[in-house]
A and B are shown apart, each in its own frame.
Chain A
């Protein structure tokens, strides 16, 4: 069953067309890694999947909800789509625990006590139980990103979107974040990951999508895309990054 189904997706900023017609779908439990040169539209594509970017044309269906339909309640749909950002975007005026419990309590998914219990469980999962009462400013980049993942998971989403989650990290912290994501993948979470970590994409991804110039140029299993790329542009891109 398709968790995410995208048909004919186009996105323009004024006269500048960034996405020129994307078709793809993601099955439940699948881990899709999106790779490509910067400016290829991969981050914009990801942000269209929870409507952080308005869709110019085409159709995006997540969990049987049509995002492109103006009548659908976008807040309700977003509750089921977790997102992790390149720059973490933790709330600096809230503690780690408050960052995680904010949405579930605010949206009345859980009582404060329940939410805190869940949050402590999530913090244990990402290895940060001791930081519950710390403020984000006192955390390292890797710790921040792990809290951000826990915050997204607190809403118990069906799909997780990752927008270059390790790009802003010092190299020695990339591992701890990828480790958490790998665990998540193993537990069967449906994930779409925009990444520059080719090793991770090859190891954890069920499918790899190569984007360039606003199109999906090539897609397939990691073995196909990395081992035997068919398209000219894929080959030249992989030559540069591998």
Chain B
């Protein structure tokens, strides 16, 4: 009877959990009425997409997309996810299209349908402006170069690395390439021409000793055989804005008049370098917003983790072998899978396999809650089992039922044991939210990445972000300590 109740309760919770997750997915019918396309983009690929001074996304891709959508009269919602996450989200059907300075390659054509090319690109080598030792590919022999995953720069570097005898290190974001070269880990980086040129224009302290290589072109992508009407509109719109001069206007806006008209060189006029204080002052609103999200996701995840922990924790200390086994499997699985993999699995693999879409934040909260839930289960089990068996026996010998004894005698004592571990878990989960930036969740770490993407100022940004985590966690632990003292006194 008791077990039955437990199972029913558990099922109710599961249903609640998933219907909650499900309610966040816009229903198919609603989408049918007025189709709003979800279009993913990179977060850090200036001048094609990056965060402007006000924290909004700007760039060539986004301005072109906007102009085309206006021309064709379709609605879209932009999701800046990062390049890899955007491509994976497209594959898994979580988004309808990707515009992210994506090179059209034969390999990608196997999986995606591309629009007419909207930008002619090509890889180029960047080196530190003060470095006069690297003037040709020959000078790279015995050194390391940095590339960004999936770019033409990466493909090109790969194709010549044996010929010129250098090694390659791969990064996820363009600014990391510059940081790597600045830090001296690599002597040069290969990246798409407009990106390198734009970075230099922003004053990132790099130079281009060689002309650009012949390269491919960028296209807008949809899943193969899907969203044909969106692709048609994109191509028609692109032709229209090229004809009416809107296209040139956009390009000139980012790369200068001469580039647009001559189809060649970028005018490099280094902008004035902001002071560190100015940079941080300007970015602070974005950081504070990011911190707000971090706290929000922490609280919501811990709430669900706590419910999961209570359910599986009580299953673990109970007498039913089956339920104990279920709880053990739960803990083993979610404690055994690295959070990063769990996030990818929930956000990308499950929706792909089952054919539905899941918002990033739902996936992030699920991953954090399941991971923390496994640990909370163990905290609760450990807390309960740390209480002397005689306490339960004394209560039962008076005729008190198991559940009442658990609730009124064991738990009040066990909670005192658990509180320090709960505080610890809170700090861990708060820090773990930063891992969710890999699937594009906007929180404090992601806010930092975005600012670095457009400013190339990683030292100042990561210093401030680290301090912000430190301050918030210190404040929270102080508050928690006070609560703990009150709990153990009362």
A interface residues, Cβ below 8 angstroms from B: 50, 52, 75-79, 81-83, 85, 87, 89-93, 102-103, 106-107, 148, 151-152, 155
Question: Restricting to B363-384, which residues have a CB under 8 Å from any CB of A?
Answer: none
Which A residues lie within 8 Å of B393 (CB)? 52, 85, 89
A36 to B399, CA, bound (A): 29
A52 to B394, CA, bound (A): 10
Closest to B405 in A: A106
A91 to B411, CA, bound (A): 12
Closest to A79 in B: B399
B394 near A75 with CB under 8 A, answer no
A89 to B394, CA, bound (A): 6
B399 near A107 with CB under 8 A, answer yes
A52 to B396, CA, bound (A): 8
Interface CB pairs A-B, < 8 A, 5: A75-B400, A81-B397, A82-B397, A87-B388, A151-B398
Name, among A77, A79, A91, the residue most crowded by chain B CB atoms within 10 Å (CB to CB): A91
Q: Is B413 an interface residue (CB 8 A)?
A: yes
Q: Find B413's partner among A52, A93, A103 (CB 8 Å cutoff).
A: A93
Known: A102-B400, A155-B399. 10 other contacts (CB 8 A): A52-B393, A52-B397, A79-B399, A85-B393, A85-B394, A87-B390, A89-B394, A102-B408, A103-B400, A106-B404
Given A89-B388, A106-B404, residue A83 in contact with residue B397 (CB < 8 A)? yes
Q: Which 5 A-B pairs have CB atoms at the shortest separation, nearest pair first?
A: A79-B399, A89-B394, A89-B390, A103-B398, A83-B397
Given A89-B391, A89-B393, A106-B408, residue A76 in contact with residue B413 (CB < 8 A)? no
A90 to B409, CA, bound (A): 10
A224 to B293, CA, bound (A): 81
Q: Is B412 an interface residue (CB 8 A)?
A: yes
Which A residues lie within 8 Å of B391 (CB)? 89, 91
B399 near A103 with CB under 8 A, answer yes
A83 to B412, CA, bound (A): 23
Which A residues lie within 8 Å of B390 (CB)? 85, 87, 89
Count of A-B contacts judged by CB separation below 8 Å: 58
Q: Is B52 an interface residue (CB 8 A)?
A: no
A54 to B132, CA, bound (A): 85
A78 to B396, CA, bound (A): 8
Q: Find B399's partner among A76, A90, A148, A151 (CB 8 Å cutoff).
A: A76
Closest to A154 in B: B398
Which B residues lie within 8 Å of A75 (CB)? 396, 399-401
Q: Find A152's partner among B398, B400, B408, B412 (CB 8 Å cutoff).
A: B398
A82 to B396, CA, bound (A): 10
Contact residue range for chain B? Answer: 10 to 19
A90 to B413, CA, bound (A): 12
A24 to B393, CA, bound (A): 24
Which A residues lie within 8 Å of B404 (CB)? 106
Closest to A87 in B: B390
Give min CB distance, B383 to chain A, whole Å. 14
Q: Find A78's partner among B397, B408, B412, B413 (CB 8 Å cutoff).
A: B397
Closest to B412 in A: A93
Give min CB distance, B425 to chain A, whole Å. 23
B400 near A106 with CB under 8 A, answer yes
Give min CB distance, B376 to chain A, whole Å. 22
Which B residues lie within 8 Å of A93 (CB)? 412-413
Closest to A99 in B: B394
Closest to B389 in A: A89
Name, among B394, B395, B413, the residue most crowded by chain A CB atoms within 10 Å (CB to CB): B394
A75 to B395, CA, bound (A): 10
Give min CB distance, A33 to chain B, whole Å. 20
Give min CB distance, B433 to chain A, whole Å. 35
Which B residues lie within 8 Å of A78 (CB)? 396-399
A155 to B396, CA, bound (A): 12
Given A106-B404, A106-B408, residue A91 in contact with residue B397 (CB < 8 A)? no
Which B residues lie within 8 Å of A50 (CB)? 397
Give min CB distance, B266 to chain A, whole Å. 72
A92 near B399 with CB under 8 A, answer no
A92 to B390, CA, bound (A): 12
Which A residues lie within 8 Å of B412 (CB)? 93
A91 near B398 with CB under 8 A, answer no
Closest to A155 in B: B398
Closest to B393 in A: A52
Closest to A83 in B: B397
A93 to B410, CA, bound (A): 10
Which B residues lie within 8 Å of A52 (CB)? 393, 396-397
A91 to B398, CA, bound (A): 12
Which B residues lie within 8 Å of A148 (CB)? 394
Give min CB distance, A227 to chain B, whole Å. 34
Give min CB distance, B387 to chain A, whole Å. 10
Closest to B413 in A: A93
Closest to A91 in B: B409
Closest to B408 in A: A106
A92 near B413 with CB under 8 A, answer yes
Closest to A47 in B: B393
A106 to B406, CA, bound (A): 13
Which A residues lie within 8 Å of B388 (CB)? 87, 89
A155 to B397, CA, bound (A): 10
